[in-house]
Amino acid sequence: MAENQKVGNNNVVIIGAGLGGLQCGYILAKNGMDVCVLEKNPLPGGCLQSYCRKGAEGVLEFDAGMHYVGGLDEGQPLNSLFRYFGLLDLPWEKMDPQAFDEVNINGKSYMFANGHTEFVEKMCEYFPAQRENLNRYVAFLKEVGESLPRSLSPKAAEDVFTGSLFARSAQEFLCETITDPLLREVLSGTSLKMELGANLPLYTFAQINNSFIESAWRLCGGGNLIAEALVKGIESMGGRVYTGKEVTEILPDGVFCGEEFFPAKYIISNLHPATTMNLVGESAGLRKVYRNRINRLENTFGMFTANIALKPGMVPYLNRNQYVYSLEEGESLWNPMRGNGTNGVLVSYYNRKSAQGCGVRNPIGGGNCALALDLLAPMDWGEVAAFEGSRVGNRPAEYNALKEAKLAECLALAERVVPGLGNAVEKVYTSTPLTYKDYTGTFCGSAYGIRKDCTNLMQTLLTPKTPLENLFLTGQSLNLHGVLGVSMTSFFTCAQIIGMEAATKDLEF
């Protein structure tokens, strides 16, 4: 190998500049390590990326994946994590504390309030006979949320992946705690941000739902603001973030990006574990049985997304999300891919305050009307797998017809809570799991990574360690997905290299 093909002499090479990769880079750079982050796309961020399109009253910025976060109030876990990463100064706006989420099932709406006590009081307006059960429900969620900081202690971190709550079924807990079947559906109704199913671990359900009950926030601007802030922090501490660098092979002493070789003592992959294993060169000595195990793991569903530019003055802005479902008699949200067609959709409004985007003022909302919103609905990889060999911008007509049909289904559901939405659409930009796979490298376009199974934790709940001594994993496929889960996992990953005490020395809960 020619000497000029080698790039740097790095302590750590991190593959993928998504949230987990950038956070690992930040933690290790903060601890004095020589960090190099490699991203195949022109921009860092992964699902934090945003893109711009022209609307009727200016340029609109649409998010690829992030729509809101939970637990950002003072004293709450994400507040502490974001303070560590220097992200609290971004333009966050708190969502309506009396109704940050609205769940509409078969035409009837139920509002979710922030605060554990307030949440119970609001739910009791709809289900007065369930007060005692609701108190038990939120008390448990609160207990799980309060345990989160303790999981980052050096001793607890060793056992976090095998905790008893991971081995319990969320659905069984809900059935044991809440006796009203409709209330069970309502409490599960905001869970398009996870994949419901009989074997969903209780810890996943409780931790995510608790964080949003604590507080809910939108970012005034694209999720790329988070990526940009993390990149700036890494570079200010001497690290480097390269874009347009697609890793083509992982070796024991570094990685190849085409003809370029980046030497490294340690390698962290923020890619999907199956994608990572497929990059490991034969000379690394990775056992075939481990590769096969990772490749056989099932993945959560993907998402169909419609980014919609609206005609001015036609859709009122709401500072909450709306989850809309159509359930036949006997159906449940705990059957995530029910039959054919779309049974549930999330309506997410863009912040009405002006935000800087794409180099221009970005009027996401004017007055009390929205200029843009997103529709999101679960979509299985099998629906788009036949088109995997096609390229962005050159898909077959059948694929485009599939997207049009999916859009029509989503609009029909959304119009239950946004009357006249179809007539208010100026322009729509749609994406599927195939889009996410092509742009972010997400395996099968999975929205939440590997499907965790409370009855099979040894196989489905991965740790940062791999059989290769210096190769580690991070990201949503490991412990817990979402912004909170990925942020926590970044510390578990870095602890494998520098120890948990060093990784968390400046993290204060």
Over residues 414-444, the pLDDT tens digits come to 999 999 999 999 999 999 999 988 887 788 8
pLDDT(363) > 50: no
Residue 251 pLDDT greater than 60, yes or no: yes
Element (H, E) at 401: helix 397-414
The residue ranking higher by pLDDT, 47 or 316, is 316
What is the structure's pLDDT at 130? 98
Amino acid at 454: C
Are 426 and 310 within 8 A, CB to CB? yes
Q: Kindly state the average pLDDT of the residues 317-322.
A: 95
Q: What percent of the chain has pLDDT over 90?
A: 71
pLDDT, mean of residues 327-345 = 78
Q: Where does the pLDDT of residue 4 fall: very low under 50, low under 70, confident under 90, or very high at 90 and above?
A: very low
240-243/101-105 β-pairing: unpaired
The reported pLDDT for the residue numbered 270 is 96
Can you give the pLDDT at residue 155? 60
Asked if pLDDT for residue 213 goes beyond 80, the answer is: yes
In the predicted model, is pLDDT for residue 56 greater than 60? yes
**Residue 34 to residue 240: CA distance in whole angstroms:** 8
Kindly report the pTM of this predicted structure.
0.92
**Res 442: pLDDT:** 80
pLDDT band at 504 (very low <50, low <70, confident <90, very high): very high
User: How much is the pLDDT for 352?
Assistant: 52
CB 197 within 8 A of CB 203: no
Going by pLDDT thresholds of 50, 70 and 90, the confidence category of residue 331 is: confident
Q: pLDDT band at residue 217, thresholds of 50, 70 and 90?
A: very high
Pick from 428, 353, 338, 433: nearest CA to 385? 433
Instruction: List CB contacts of 25: < 8 A, sequence separation 6 or more.
Output: 12, 14, 35, 37, 230, 234, 239, 241
Residue 361 has pLDDT above 50, yes or no: no
| Ranges 65-69, 241-245, 465-469: which has the least confidence | 65-69
User: Is residue 411 scored above 50 in pLDDT?
Assistant: yes
CATH of 3-50+222-298+452-503, one of 2.40.50.100, 3.90.1150.10, 3.50.50.60, 3.10.20.30: 3.50.50.60
- Checking if the pLDDT of 360 tops 50, the result is no
What pLDDT does residue 359 have?
A: 38
Average pLDDT score over residue span 292-304: 92
Asked if residue 110 has pLDDT above 90, the reply is: yes
pLDDT over 70 percentage in the chain: 91
Q: What is the pLDDT of residue 3?
A: 46
Q: How many CA atoms lie within 13 A of 12 on its CB side?
A: 34
How many CB atoms neighbour CB 364 within 10 A? 27
Predicted local distance difference test score (pLDDT) of residue 47: 84
Which parts of 119-237 are beta strand (E)? 216-219
Distance CA 142, CA 207 (A): 9
